[in-house]
Amino acid sequence: MNITWSSRFRVVRLIQVLIAMAVGIHVPAFGQAAMMDLLPNGPASERINIVILSEGYTAAELAQFRTDATNTLAALFSNSPLSGYQEHFNAFAISVASAESGSDHPSRGIYRNTYFGSSYDNAGIARYLTVPQRQPVYDILYQFIPQYDIVVILVNDTEYGGSGGRFMTISKHSLTLEIARHELGHAFASLGDEYTTGESSGYELPNATQILNRSLTPWKSWIADATAVPTPVSPTNDTSVGLFEGAHYNAAGWYRPKSNCKMRTLGVDYCEVCKEALVKAIYAQSSPLRSQEPAAFLANLVAASSQTFRVKTTTPPSRPMEIRWILNGSPMSETGSNLVLSAAQLNPGTNYLQVNVADRTSLVRSDPTALLQASSTWQVVLEASSQIRLERPTRLQDGRLVFNVVGKAANGMRIETSSNMTTWTPVATYGPMDGTFSITNSPANGSITIMRAVSLP
Amino acid sequence: MAMSLALLASAVSTALGASGDTNRFVALQLKVTATEVTLMQALQFPGKAKPEPKRQGLDYVILTAEGTVVSRGSIENPRFERACTEEQPGSGILTQSTSTLEEAITVLRLPVDPTADSIEFFKSPDSGASPTQAPQFLGKVSLKTP
C-alpha cells in the first residue's frame, strides 16, 4: 500500500490527538510555523531576542498577525528607556496557524481550536488570558529561536485580557499593550509590582524593599538628602524618589521608590528606579561593544609603520558612548572609535592597548558590576622592520668566505666589503629576506677580510 | 607543491577546530512540583547562553564530580502563575491574581561546561527566613551525557 507523506502526517497526527485525549494533554491545532525578522540587529547570542508568537490566527489571518506583531513591537518600544535602546534587541514574529480564530471564553461557553489552546477566564477572572501548556511554546522556540529572551503570545481576540510570567500573553485589545509594557518590567528586569493588593512572595526586588534605612535601601543613590524617609505621599513628593510605604502586595512594611510608576499604575511612566533596572537588564544581556578591529588579540606592528584600531559601539540615547584608549596602562588623549597607533608610540617588544567603552547615561546612577561598560585589549608587538646579523663566517680551502645573514630585511639587503672599515664597496644586492641567507663571496679573494650586510631602507 | 600541502593542512585544521567548538549551550527542560525538580529533556544548541534574568523561586547550584561549586543561580518557580489585571479596563488600577499549578515546566539554559557534573535545585528561601534554615532540596540532575 502506498501512503503519501500528507496522509502519513494525518495518521501520525490522529494518533497524537488520540493519545493526548487519553492522557488529557493539549496538542496544538495544525499549523506550519514560519519565522519572520521584525527587528534584525545582530547575532542572537549577542542581542536580546523578542519573540512574538501567533495564537488563534487561522492560515488566512497570518498576514494580519504580521501586522499585529509589528504594532505590538512598536508599542513595547514606545516608552523610555526601551525606546532609546532598540539596537540591543532583535525581534521575530513566528506565525503558526490555528484551526480556528480567537480564543476560549469558558464562562460564555465559547471554545476555539487554537494552536496553543489559549483561554480567558483563568482563576475565575474573565481578563486572565493565558495558555494552559508550555510545551508547545517551548517546542516552537526550540525549533526557531532557542535563544529567546522575551516571549509574547499574541492572541487573535479583541477582548481585553492578558497575563505575565515566563511567557507574556496578550490579546489584541488596545489597552493590553500597556499591560504588556508593565509585564515587560517583570519578565525582563525582574521588577516587582508596586501596588498593594495580592499575595506577597517575600522576596526583595529592585523596586520593592522592606528596608527602611536610607543608606541601605537598594535605590539609595536616587534619594536626595532633603527627602524624608519614609516618604509621605503628597503633591510636594510626587516627583521625588524616596521610600513610599505600600508595595509588593502589602499596604504596610514594604516600600516603593516613587509615589507612582508603571509598576503600580498603568498609564504612568516607569519611575527612575525602574528605568535604571531596565537599562541594567539590557546591558546584562547585550554589550555596548559591538565589534573590534583587528578582531584578533595579537597585533604586530613593524617599526616605522602604524596601525588603525577600531571599535564599534552601540549609540546610547542621551549622550555619546564614552571611549577611552589606554596604552601600557597610561590613558591616551584619543576618545574616538578609531585610534591610529604608530610604532613610535610603542616600546620595543610587547605592548598592551586597551579600550574601555561606557554608557554614562543619567538613567543609571548605580552600576556596581559595571554592566554599562565593556573593554577590549590587544597585545601589540613591535617588530623591527630590519634587523639582520652575520653568523658562522668560514674560510673555505679555496680562499672564499662563506657566512650566513640571519634576520629580516623587509626591503632587501646589500653586501659590502671594506679593507679599512671606513670605505665600503657594494658587492651584491638582494631582495627582501626573512630567515637565514647563505653568502659565499666569489671570486675567491683572500685579501678581503671585512664584510658587512646592510638592510635597505 | 609544498605550499599547496601547507594550505590544505591549514584548512583541515580549521574544520576540526570548528567541530570541537565549545560555544554551545544546553537547555534543561525541567518538571517542577512542590517537592521535586526532575529533568524532562536536555537539548544542546550552538551559540552562547546569556545570563537568565535574576529571579527567585528556584535556586540552583552547579557542581563538579568532586562536589566543587561551579556556579549558582536562581530562576522563577513556574508553578506560580500570576496576572496583573486592571480593576476596570482603562482605570490603570491594578490587582493581582495568582494560581498555583500542581506541576509546571520550565527551561534553564546554561553554557556547556565540561567541568559541570550535576545541578542541584532548592526552593529559594523567603527574605524573612532565618539564615540558619536549610533550603528545601528539590532534586539533582546529572549533566553528563550517558
Neighboring chain B residues of A285 at a CB cutoff of 8 Å: 50-51
- Hey, is A81 helix, strand or coil? coil
Q: In chain A, which residue's Cα lies nearest the Cα of B97?
A: A198
Tell the burial category of A414 from Cβ atoms under 10 Å away from its Cβ (0-12, 13-18, 19+): middle
Neighboring chain A residues of B90 at a CB cutoff of 8 Å: 175
Q: Return d(Cα A184, Cα B89) in angstroms, integer.
A: 19
Cβ pair A203:B124 closer than 8 A: yes
User: Domain segments of chain A: what residues?
Assistant: 5-189, 191-271, 289-383, 386-455
- Hey, is A93 helix, strand or coil? strand
Best mutation target, A122, A129, A138, A259, to test chain B (most B CBs within 10 A)? A138
Better-predicted residue by pLDDT, A311 or B23: A311
CATH number of the domain located at residue range(s) A5-189 in this protein: 3.40.390.10
- Hey, is A84 helix, strand or coil? helix
Q: What is the pLDDT of residues B51-102, one digit of tens each?
A: 877 778 899 999 999 999 999 999 989 998 878 888 888 899 998 888 888 9
- Hey, is A344 helix, strand or coil? helix
Rounded to a whole number, what is the distance in Å from the CA of B22 to chain A's nearest CA?
Answer: 14
Where do the H-state alpha helices sit in A368-408?
Answer: none
pTM, two decimal places: 0.80
Q: What is the DSSP letter of B66?
A: T
Q: How high is the ipTM of this complex?
A: 0.81
The architecture of the domain spanning A289-383 is Sandwich (2.60)
Place of cell 532534586: B139
Rounded to a whole number, what is the distance in Å from the CA of B6 to chain A's nearest CA?
Answer: 19
Of A19-33, A75-89, A118-132, A195-209, the range with the lowest mean pLDDT is A19-33
Q: What is the pLDDT of residues A339-356, one digit of tens each?
A: 999 988 998 889 999 999
Best mutation target, B22, B29, B94, to test chain A (most A CBs within 10 A)? B94
Of A128, A75, A79, A280, give the one whose Cα is nearest residue A191. Answer: A280
Grid cell for residue A258: 516613587
**CA dihedral over A140, A143, A149, A150, signed as positive or negative:** negative
- pLDDT band for A31, please (50, 70, 90 cuts): low
Q: What is the pLDDT of residues B105-129, one digit of tens each?
A: 999 999 998 899 999 999 987 666 6
For each of the domains in chain B, give its residue range(s) and CATH number, in order of start: 21-142 (2.60.40)
DSSP bridge pairs for A128: A162
Neighboring chain B residues of A186 at a CB cutoff of 8 Å: 84
- Of all residues in chain A, the percent with pLDDT exceeding 90 is 66
Q: What is the pLDDT of residues B3-56, one digit of tens each?
A: 332 222 222 222 222 333 458 999 999 999 999 999 999 999 999 888 877 778
Place of cell 513556574: B78
The mean predicted confidence, pLDDT, of chain A is 88
Neighboring chain B residues of A265 at a CB cutoff of 8 Å: 92-94
Q: Are B121 and B60 in contact (CB under 8 A)?
A: yes
